[in-house]
Structures are given as C-alpha cells and as structure tokens.
Amino acid sequence: MAYSIKHVTTFRYHPAVGESVMEVRMQPRSDMRQRCITFSLDVNPQANVMTYRDFFGNAVHHFDIPGRHKLIEVTAHAIVDINPAAWPAVHYGTWEDLDTRVAEGDYWEMLLPSQYAKPTDLLAELSEELKLERRGAPLDLLMEVNRALYDKFDYAPNTTKVDSPIDDALRARRGVCQDFAHIMIALVRQLKIPCRYVSGYLFHADKAKDRSPAGATHAWVEAYLGEAGWVAFDPTNNLLGSERHIHVAVGRDYADVPPTRGVYKGEAESELSVRVVVAPQKPPARWTSNNSSSNRPNLPQKNSMGEKVSSEIAATQEDAQQSTASRDGRDRCGLRAECGGK
C-alpha cells in the first residue's frame, strides 16, 4: 500500500508581523516498514529552507522570513510506500527477557518522565483503577491499557489545549489523541517499559470505525517490547499499529515533535488553519506482496546502537482539521500549531 499526503498549514497575523523563524517536522520517516518516496515543502512567502536531523532522527526543515507579512502558508507533499510484508504477528515475550534487553540498550529518554508525560496524583488514581502492575505478558498488559483508555475516556475535540497537562484530560475523562498518547506513555513508563510519542497520519478506510477524524494529523505511542521491538498502540482508536498508520516523527512527548514551531517579531493575533489529505496510491511493483497485513506491529531489526528499528510513527493532533484557532501571537509563530482545535 502507498499513500499520497498533502498537509497545508496556514498562519494569518493581524496586524502584520516582522521576521518569522520556523521549523517544520512534516517529512515521513523511512525504515523497514515504510519508505518516503518523495517529499517537497513549499513556503509562502518564499523562503530558503534548510534541513537537518534532530536527536531522534526526525527530519526538520527550518526557514526564516525577514520582511513584514500577514500570512505564512506551509504546504508539504509526500508519497509514502508501506511494506505489506513488514507486519507479521507479534511474538509474546516475557518480563525477564524485556528487562534484559532494556538493560543492554539505551532507552533512558523513553523511561523517564517528560514535559507532558509525567506522574501526577490523578494518574496514580487511574493506575490504581486499572490495577496496573506487571502481570501476564507485557504485550497483553499493554493491549489491556490501550483498550482501557479507549473505553474510559471520550474523544472530545476542543476540550483541552496543546499545552494542557495530562490532569486536564484525566479529570474530565475526555480529550484528543495527544492526551490519550501522553496518558498511556506516563502509565507504561511506570511499568519500566520504554515508551515514546509518535506523530503522523492515519488513513481512514471506508469501513473503519475510527474516533479520530480524517483530514488532520494523528498521534499514538510505541512501546519497546524486547524481541518484538517498538510496537505501536493507538489508544484513541483502540488499534495496534497497522498499514494505515504513517509515521512522521518520534520523541519523548509532543514537545519533541510538533509539526510546526517558531517565533516572530511583533504583537499580533494569529489564526491557524490546517488541512490534511491522505489518499491511497498504487504501490511500487517491487514492494507488492501476497502477504496480507495482520494489523500487528513488525519484528524489526537492530540498528548500529542495538536498538530495534521499527515503526517510527507519526504527527499530532487531529482537531486542527480545517478549524481555526485564535490566540495572542506575541513572539509565537506556530509554537502550538497542528495540535490546535483542542
């Protein structure tokens, strides 16, 4: 399966602002499960776009616009090829095997509390409610947590903000994909399982019963499960990672992977709108396979650092879906973009 992706982000400023500096994480990753065949980034007003890789291996494009302007429009186009042979059934490992592999690797960043995924009293209450403790097989337990968050929390756009602490969603028992991901990450790390945030896109098939909307970015998590590598869980939709998940960036939480982030000079109100279109496309012949997807994460290979290379997943927040968010824009130009509409 292959997908074409168009992701348009527009900032409007009232009144016009001075110089803007922005970085963008919109280029899908390439690994054994997906391949970014083409990618282009267009910026209006025209700007010289530079590229680098961040600490987590995400592609980052950055640019500055020196003159006064009332609008910035960033348009990303990509074609991503999904390898259908890279999604075999997950092997069930033991806690002992997992602990051994974690001790042998370098997973500290994904084990420690982070800006949006850290312990709180409300999180402790939820953990007690779920009777969260090591039992059975690690995969079974995480599937149980994935389902519990889906059952106990309502998907409700505009109920939290992009920088809301997890307590807001925990208290209301509702939120959006970013909140679901942060809560699951904080719970899973308490089990001493490395867990990371993934931003990207979810293709919405005709018969899929997804709670997250089409036309927007998405977020989910990956947990390191030893021999199975990094396994994707989507608590918003009660899914395991599948061919429908297209990953763009990974990090400790949303703070590491916002699709857009920047600053500008001046005082102005800003309006943000986001449009995302994900459409199926005929895959290259050389990746065509008779193997059908089992809707399970892959069994990845090790990279040079001994880490399992697997689904490097995808973007954040869904409700920006052509919605518009207004806010005071002083010295902010997209710091909260793409999660918007919460």
Each residue of 300-326: pLDDT tens digit? 333 333 333 332 223 333 333 333 333
Q: What is the mean pLDDT of residues 280-290?
A: 65
Query: What is the C-alpha separation between 213 and 317, in angstroms, rounded?
Result: 10
Query: What is the C-alpha separation between 154 and 171, in angstroms, rounded?
Result: 12
Same domain, 264 and 125: no
| Residue 58 domain boundaries | 2-82+260-279+323-328
Residue 136 located in a structural domain: yes
Query: What is the C-alpha separation between 154 and 172, in angstroms, rounded?
Result: 9
Count: domains in the chain: 2
Residue 274 located in a structural domain: yes
Q: What is the mean pLDDT of residues 153-158?
A: 95
Q: What is the pLDDT of residue 86?
A: 60
Query: What is the C-alpha separation between 342 and 290, in angstroms, rounded?
Result: 41
Q: What is the pLDDT of residue 325?
A: 33
Average pLDDT of the chain to the nearest whole number: 84
Same domain, 94 and 162: yes
Query: What is the C-alpha separation between 192 and 107, in angstroms, rounded?
Result: 10
* Strand, helix or coil for residue 15: strand
Question: Residue 282 — very low, low, confident or very high, per pLDDT cuts 50/70/90?
Answer: confident
CATH number for the domain spanning 19: value is: 2.60.40.2250
Residue 202: strand pairing partners: 245
Residue 35: strand pairing partners: 81
Residue 286 located in a structural domain: no
pLDDT higher than 50, residue 13: yes
Residue 249: strand pairing partners: 199
* DSSP code of residue 88: P
Residue 337 located in a structural domain: no
CATH number for the domain spanning 171: value is: 3.10.620.30
Q: What is the pLDDT of residue 1?
A: 87
Minimum mean pLDDT among 170-184, 237-251, 273-287: which range?
273-287
Residue 333 located in a structural domain: no
Same domain, 197 and 266: no
Same domain, 159 and 129: yes
Same domain, 111 and 26: no
Query: What is the C-alpha separation between 236 and 184, in angstroms, rounded?
Result: 10
For the beta carbon of residue 140, count every other beta carbon within 10 angstroms: 10
pLDDT higher than 70, residue 328: no
pLDDT higher than 70, residue 335: no
Query: What is the C-alpha separation between 149 and 126, in angstroms, rounded?
Result: 10
Same domain, 129 and 244: yes
pTM over 0.75: yes
Q: What is the pLDDT of residue 322?
A: 32
For the beta carbon of residue 92, count every other beta carbon within 10 angstroms: 13
pLDDT higher than 70, residue 340: no
Residue 70 located in a structural domain: yes
Condensed to tens digits (0 to 9), the pLDDT of residues 219-274 reads 999 999 998 899 999 999 999 999 999 999 999 999 999 999 999 999 999 999 99
Residue 248 located in a structural domain: yes
Are 68 and 315 contacting, i.e. CB atoms less than 8 angstroms apart? no
Condensed to tens digits (0 to 9), the pLDDT of residues 34-89 reads 999 999 999 999 999 999 999 999 999 999 999 999 999 999 999 999 987 665 56
pLDDT higher than 70, residue 169: yes
Residue 157 located in a structural domain: yes
Condensed to tens digits (0 to 9), the pLDDT of residues 85-114 reads 665 566 778 999 999 999 999 999 999 999
Residue with the bigger pLDDT between 206 and 4: it is: 4
Q: What is the pLDDT of residue 228?
A: 87
